[in-house]
Structure 1
Amino acid sequence: MKTSNTILIFFTLSLLFSSSFGAVQDFCVADLSGPQGPAGYSCKNANKVTVDDFVYHGLAAKGNTTNIIKAAVTTAFDSQFPGVNGLGISLARADLAPGGVIPFHTHPGGTEILILLEGTLCAGFVSSSANQVFFKTLNKGDVMVFPQGLLHFQLNSGKGEALFFVGFNSPNPGLQLLDFALFKNNLPTELVAAATFLDVAQIKKLKGVLGGTG
């Protein structure tokens, strides 16, 4: 009986403590004039918040796909869309010309869910357990999820343009492109070769294409 009472008292005090000191607010619109920390941006003065902080028009326009990957990604993260700061959500739009690709990349800060609106995609990810590959050809209306932190890609495998939108469970999921991480840096080519088992000539070629040095 004494043990039960002790647990009950502890539980009650825990509820009172969390109720008394828990910060409750409707939103935390990003103050883009300040620095961004691990938890996002600090909150904009509530008296300066307007409806425009909760509306974003940037995903309406098609991105420019005249580049090496024939693709464009337009983000609606907290740095572009202040209203999502602190809410655990964000969006992005991807336009892919025929043959366009979003190369292998990771989002260390969030899981991604994709819905294909136009075209045909080959999309997939690699698990961290035994490097198991999960990939599928997606058609208009299909949805696919990419777990947080795993390497994944999207390739326009159709004859026309492809358009998809993605959602994240983070206001800023982060991004690291594998090709850029390997070949758009100033590491000596010999070190990259030793760490990747790739041919030195091929590494130098890729560094030249992607802007790396060393």
Structure 2
Amino acid sequence: MMKLVLIFSLLAFASSLCFASDPSPLQDICVAIKDPKSAVFVNGKFCKDPNLARAEDFFYSGLQKPGNTSNPLGSKVTAVNVDQIPGLNTLGISLARIDYAPYGLNPPHTHPRATEILVVVEGELYVGFVTSNQLENKLFTKYLKKGDVFVFPEGLIHFQLNIGKTNAVAFAGLSSQNPGVITIANSLFGSNPPINYNVLTKAFQVDKKVVDKLQAQFWWDNN
């Protein structure tokens, strides 16, 4: 009996040192293939020979320039992730600048692979996120001024609205080299091909005419 207790104790300790699930993916989909010659990605990117790396691989210039907010949303996200800085590969971080016209909106969206921390450097924002069904979709909101910081947990729907009469600017840090973004309205009503109207009418409890009208809209991508 003592030997069994010892064995189970060692197994429990060993399991605590292991990951409880698969590593987080760094791409939206990864279809398994048997032929390695057909491989395209290795968790998002191939790696350069370290001996061939240059300082430019870790550099980006341009965040001092305001993004173009002359669109229906009145906002523009300028992302700096592994696509802009190859040296970010495997480092698990990225950055974004968000510009807002007066009353501009960064619409409800999620980052499937990252927590976001936002700091306001100009203007005033109304921000918030919604928890999952498990916590009854509780809404957390805050009015932010210059220098204020707010956190959006990984995967949760969140938004930012400029509540001022002047432009606003914020910078966001994200806990992934490739956080991804899913804009809720775009995904549901602007998918290609369109989602069957029976799904959307039942999900939103609205008439088919409403769904048809929403699907006919041009859904702007501010990223």
Q: Tell me, in whole angstroms, the C-alpha distance in 2 between the residues paired with 1:172 and 1:147.
A: 16
Change in 2 beyond 3 A, CA 1:59/1:150:
same
Counterpart of 1:103 in structure 2: which amino acid? P
Q: Deviations over 1:118-173 (max 9, x none)?
A: 01100000011111110011000000000001010000111110100000111011
Residue of structure 2 in register with 1:122 after alignment: 126
Rounded Cα–Cα distance in structure 1 between residues aligned with 2:40 and 2:164: 42
Q: Which amino acid aligns with 1:106?
A: T
Aligned counterparts, 1:152-163, within 5 A:
152-163=158-169
| Identity within the alignment, % | 43
1 or 2 for the larger relative contact order (CA 8 Å, sep ≥6)? Answer: 2
Indicate conservation of the 8 Å contact 1:58/1:76, yes or no.
Answer: no
CA contact under 8 A between 1:183 and 1:210: conserved in structure 2? no
Is 1:167 paired with 2:183? no
Corresponding residue number in structure 2 for 1:133: 139
Provide the rounded CA distance (Å) in 2 between the counterparts of 1:162 and 1:188.
38
- The answer to whether structure 1 residue 184 and structure 2 residue 183 are counterparts is no
Contact 1:116–1:142 (8 Å) recurs in 2? yes
How far apart are 1:207 and its partner, in Å? 1.8
* Structure-2 residue corresponding to 1:91: 95
**Worse-matched range after superposition: 201-210 or 101-110:** 201-210
- Number of matched residues? 185
Structure 1 segments (4+ residues) deviating >6 Å: none
CA RMSD of aligned residues (A): 2.3
Q: Which structure 1 residue ranges, 5 or more long, are not aligned? A: 15-33
Q: Single out whichever of 189-198 and 44-53 deviates more from structure 2.
A: 189-198
Aligned equivalent of 1:142? 148
What is aligned with 1:50?
Answer: 54
What is the rounded CA distance, in whole Å, between the counterparts of 1:70 and 1:142 in structure 2?
21
- Partners of 1:35 and 1:78 in 2: CA distance: 16
Deviation string for 1:4-56 (max 9, x for gaps)? xx99xx9xxx9xxxxxxxxxxxxxxxxxxx9445x331211223211011111
Q: TM-score, length-normalised on structure 1?
A: 0.79
